[in-house]
Amino acid sequence: AARQFDTGTTEPVSFFLSGLEELLAWQPDANDDFNIAAVPLAQRQPPLRSRRPRTLVCHDMRGGYLEDRFIQGSATRNPYVFYHWRHIDIFVYFSHHTVTIPPVCWTNAAHRNGVPVLGTFITEWTGGEKLCEAFLAAGAEAYGAVSDQLARIAQHYRFDGWLINIENTLSAVAVENLSPFLRRLTAQVHSAVPGGLVIWYDSVLENGALRWQNELNEQNRVFFDACDGLFVNYNWKEEHLERTRRLAGQRHADVYIGVDVFARGDVVGGGFDSHKSLSLIRKHSLSAAIFAPGWVYEHLGAENFLQNENKFWGLLADYLPTHSICTLPLATSFSLGMGTSRFLTGKEEEPGPWYNLSAQEIQPLYTESEGQLLTSCCLQDAWCGGSSLRVQGTIPAGEERTAIRLFSFQMQAPPKLFLNLLYKMEGPHRDEFTVALELTTWDSDTCHEGNITPLPEPHGRHHPRLLPAPPPGLSALLAACSRGSEGWTSRCYELELQGCVLRDLSLLVSRQQASPQETRFTCLLGEVRVLDAASVAASPPQVQSLTASQLWWQ
């Protein structure tokens, strides 16, 4: 039985490696096909290399490799999912196995949303001391073999690098080779994986002692200098941040200050008070490492998880800069990679719970205003997949409409865009509202809509023109939804722009006339697409050299 398959069901599973022997013996294998990430890392703005302080999430849940190990999904009820990708820069999958290879479903979901994924290499306790003696104290050939293997593994399974976590004392000889090992690993990961990263955890000092510093200082900076970043332990106070900021200099965004959401030890704030930690970290222009945000699921339970998860990230939103989309097409039906049933073209195809993060789609911004949630997941009804996006809000008294931001862009607008929206209004007064899309562009003298010279409104607000029917190139693509069905309405729009940079895509909800009362509305979004008209007109590339492997006929 290969480790790539579940012993009970023979289904393909994600796996880890235990000990030095397994790491050194690892070779690419014909059984690996399922374990290789299928989704390339999407581009986003600003790129990871920018100096803006970043947010790293370190996922540590009950030892890892739970239901997320089933590569083709499982029938899990109320599973743990993560979907606030727009707010984070790096995702680390953590476990206490020597070599944690991130389950491929996490890499697929993160990459689709533009987030790189790191595995973990950990040594701890007396077993860790022996392991470090075996590969660090033995010299360049021995530690070179380990760094070769780690770089090859990341390249082969198509994830993006490693968190290195040495949590045991090192002998004088071993610690002398630690910096050269980190330098070599970092160089190899950079050459094997485009945009690859190696991050060091604040644990061992340059004299080999195991003493968490809760800061960057002269005793651990030698390791920071040898790789792409430092993940600082959790028990810091503000003076630690001040000293760290001074010492980090230009590399302040490469220091990730740990925030333990479980609030173990003496910490500034965890749980729903994690924002207290974040506000201090950002005050000193440092990056943050949010450890075990699965607290929301483990501590508060699976039942109201989605609601609690939105609350948790909503409280942090002020300290988490968002990321923008910089390529088209954008197409999503908002699926979280889970559901209580499966839908296709608005109809329930298959009842029963399912969980498969590889099926998670591009996620929007989940926005709140004055503590009132505007966007959330609706599992009860969907156009396609497991869920739709529920947009709730209020049109204020005296106003005719309100806009809810869905996506942020930072890219040159093509001369002509097609947009497609599938939606369903809910509630008793659903007929009183009209729904449309609004695109904003960054202010600039060069930006014009169509061939009209002055802009229709300040701040470059554009209201794409509703098309009575999809244009010819688009009608084949939208054949299933041009009519809408099961109460869903489909709308196609076009917008011509010249010299513009796209900024935001929002849902615009209007009522027939302004009212002295505020009006509440609920709208479900089933699908949104933003397409470059030129690529719709072009014929799709032909599929070539198709191969199939790992077939099991039933």
55-98 residue pLDDT tens = 999 999 999 999 999 999 999 999 999 999 999 999 999 999 99
pTM, two decimals, is: 0.96
Q: Which two tokens stand for residue 117?
A: 């994924």
* Distance separating alpha carbons of residues 368 and 456, to the nearest angstrom: 29
The per-residue pLDDT for 396 is: 87
Q: Residue 161 in contact with residue 191, Cβ under 8 Å?
A: no
* Distance separating alpha carbons of residues 319 and 309, to the nearest angstrom: 16
The per-residue pLDDT for 429 is: 82
The DSSP-derived string for 459-489 is: GGEE-PEEESS--HHHHTTTTTTSS--TT-E
Quickly name the fold that domain 330-537 has: Jelly Rolls (2.60.120)
Planar angle of CA 31, 37, 43, nearest 5 degrees: 165
Q: Which two tokens stand for residue 447?
A: 């930006």
pLDDT digits (tens, 9 = 90+) for 157-206: 999 999 999 999 999 999 999 999 999 999 999 999 999 999 999 999 99
pLDDT digits (tens, 9 = 90+) for 497-512: 999 999 999 999 999 8
The per-residue pLDDT for 477 is: 67
The per-residue pLDDT for 1 is: 58
Q: What confidence tier does 428 reach under pLDDT thresholds 50, 70, 90? A: confident
Q: Which residues, other chains included, contact 545 with Cβ-Cβ below 8 Å and sequence gap of 6+? A: none
Sequence spans of domains, the chain: 16-321, 330-537
Q: What confidence tier does 123 reach under pLDDT thresholds 50, 70, 90? A: very high
Q: Which two tokens stand for residue 431?
A: 């007929």
Quickly name the fold that domain 16-321 has: TIM Barrel (3.20.20)
Alpha-carbon torsion (466, 405, 426, 387), positive or negative? positive
